[in-house]
Amino acid sequence: MSTVVLVGAQWGDEGKGKLTDCLAAEADVIVRYQGGNNAGHTVRVEGQEYKLHLVPSGILHPGKVCVIGNGMVIDPSVLRREIEQLAASGRPLAALYISERAHVILPYHRQCDELEEECPGGLRRIGTTRRGIGPAYVDKYAREGLRVVDLLDEGAEERLRCMARRKIEILKRLYGAGGAAAPEQVVADYLAYADFLRPYVRDTSLLVHEAVRAGRHVLFEGAQGTLLDIDHGTYPYVTSSSPAAGGAAVGAGVGPRVIDTVLGVTKAYTTRVGGGPFPTELVDETGEFLRQAGHEFGTTTGRPRRCGWLDAVILRYAARINSLDYLAVTKLDVLCGLPVVRICRAYRYRGREITEFPSRLSVLAECEPVYEELPGWTEDITGARAYEDLPVAARRYLSRLAELAGVPVGAVSVGPGREQIIMLTSFFRR
C-alpha cells in the first residue's frame, strides 16, 4: 500500500482538482479531509469541465472509491445538487461515501457568514466565500454542531428544532437580522436531506483503514492551501480548517504514520482570493496578463483572483509545514510570452533581508520581494508531455524554483486537461 497527501502550497486554487484527477488513475480511494464548499476544484476531461465543491476530484474515475471525510463541513443542499449534476452528466462515476462524523452546515451558518462580511468595518471581514464554513466550524469546536450521524439519528427532529430556534434568536439579537429561515422550515428541509444522505453514510475512518490494510493506494485531497490554514496561514485571513498535510490524518480518521508521501501543488506564479497581505502581488499589466492568460477568476465565487510572481519564501514555508516530498507545478503554460519571469527568493523588511515567512501580518504587509530574474519563453508548451519537450528557459525556471523551494518537482501541468501533464516520478510506491 501507499498513500499520498496532496496539499495546496499557496493560497488555494493551485490546481489541486486537476492533480487529484490525474493521480486518481493510480489510486483506489480518494479522500477529502477538510473544508467544505468553499473549495472549487476544477477537473477537465475530454473537453468537459467539472467544478467540484464537496465531492472528491477522483469522482470521474469509475471503479474507485471517493470519501467525504470527517474533517469536512457539508452543506447538504450543495452536496445533493452536486451529486445530481454528476449523475446527470451521464459519465461513469466512482462510488461515494460520507463520514458519519462530518459536520453539517445549517442555513444560519451561511447567514452568519454573510452578516459578518457585510458588517461595516467589521473585525471579521476577511472576504470569505460566504458559504457558512467558518460559523459551522465555530459550532463544531464549541460542541454545538450537528454531525451527519446526528442528522440521521432518531432525535434529529427535536435537536434541529432547538438548534434552529436558538441560533435564529442569536442572529436577531446580535445583528438585528430578519429573513432567517423559520425553524420548522429548517427541520423539514434537513429531515429531507437526511433521507437523501443516508445511503452514502459510513464509518469512513474504518473504510480508509481497511483499504490501507488491504494494500490499496489512498490519495488524500486537500482543499484551500497552506497559507489559508487556520494555524499556519496568514491569520486571520485564513479558512477555519487545517488544509496542511497534518490535517489529513485528523480529517480522514487515520494515524499520522499512514502517510507516506506529501505532494505540494503550486502554480508557476501566485494568486490569492479575498483579503490579506500578498508580497509579490502585481497591480500592473503583468498582473492583468496573468489574470487573463490564467483565467484567474474564482471557481466558487467568480471573484477576480489577485495575481503575482512566484514566491519561493512561501514554498519553503509550505515545504516545512507539510513535509513536502515533491512539488507539482501547474499553469506553467500561462507564463508563455513573458520576456522575463521572476521568482521571489527573500523579503526585504525595513532594510533587512528575511528568508522565513513571518507570522506577524504587519511585518508581512511591509515585506518587499527580493527577486531573481530569469529569461522567459515564447514557445507554446501546452502539448508538452515529457520534460524534454519543454523549452530550455522553462526547464531552467523549474529547476531554479525547485532549488529555491528546497523540494524537487515531481509533476508539471501545462494545461487544464487531464492529459496535459508531465509526470516526473511515481508518487505511489509500487
Residues in the chain: 430
17 counts as binding ligand GDP under rule CB under 6 A: yes
CA distances from 420 to 182, 268, 332, 408, 412 (A): 49, 15, 11, 20, 9
| Integer Cα distance of 378 and 390 in angstroms | 11
- Contact pick of 127, 277, 375, 391 for ligand IMO (by CB under 6 A): 127
Which positions are catalytic?
13, 41
Interaction pattern, residues 270-309, with ligand IMO; x per rule: CB under 6 A? ---xx------------------------x----------
330 counts as binding ligand GDP under rule CB under 6 A: yes
- Contact pick of 3, 15, 230, 407 for ligand GDP (by CB under 6 A): 15
- Contact pick of 2, 10, 14, 274 for ligand GDP (by CB under 6 A): 14
415 binds, among ligand GDP, ligand IMO, Mg ion, none (CB under 5 to 8 A by kind): ligand GDP
Please say which residue, 58 or 183, places its beta carbon nearer to ligand IMO. 58
Dihedrals phi, psi of 20, to nearest 5 degrees: -65, -45
Which residues between 359 and 418 bind ligand GDP (CB under 6 A)? 413-416
Instruction: With beta carbons less than 8 A apart as the criterion, state whether 116 and 170 touch.
Output: no
330 binds, among ligand GDP, ligand IMO, Mg ion, none (CB under 5 to 8 A by kind): ligand GDP
- Give residue 95's region: left, alpha or beta (phi > 0; psi -120 to 50): beta
13 counts as binding ligand GDP under rule CB under 6 A: yes
| Integer Cα distance of 49 and 27 in angstroms | 21
| Integer Cα distance of 112 and 263 in angstroms | 35
Instruction: With beta carbons less than 8 A apart as the criterion, state whether 382 and 333 touch.
Output: yes
Q: Which three cell numbers stand for residue 275?
A: 483579503
Q: How far is CA 390 from the centre of its chain?
A: 28
Residue ranges binding Mg ion (CB under 5 A): 13, 40, 299
Kindly list the residues in this chain that would bind ligand GDP in the complex (CB under 6 A): 8, 12-18, 40-42, 44, 295, 299, 330-331, 333-334, 413-416
Q: Which residues bind ligand IMO (CB under 6 A)?
A: 8, 11-13, 38-41, 126-129, 131, 133-134, 223-225, 228, 237, 239-240, 273-274, 299
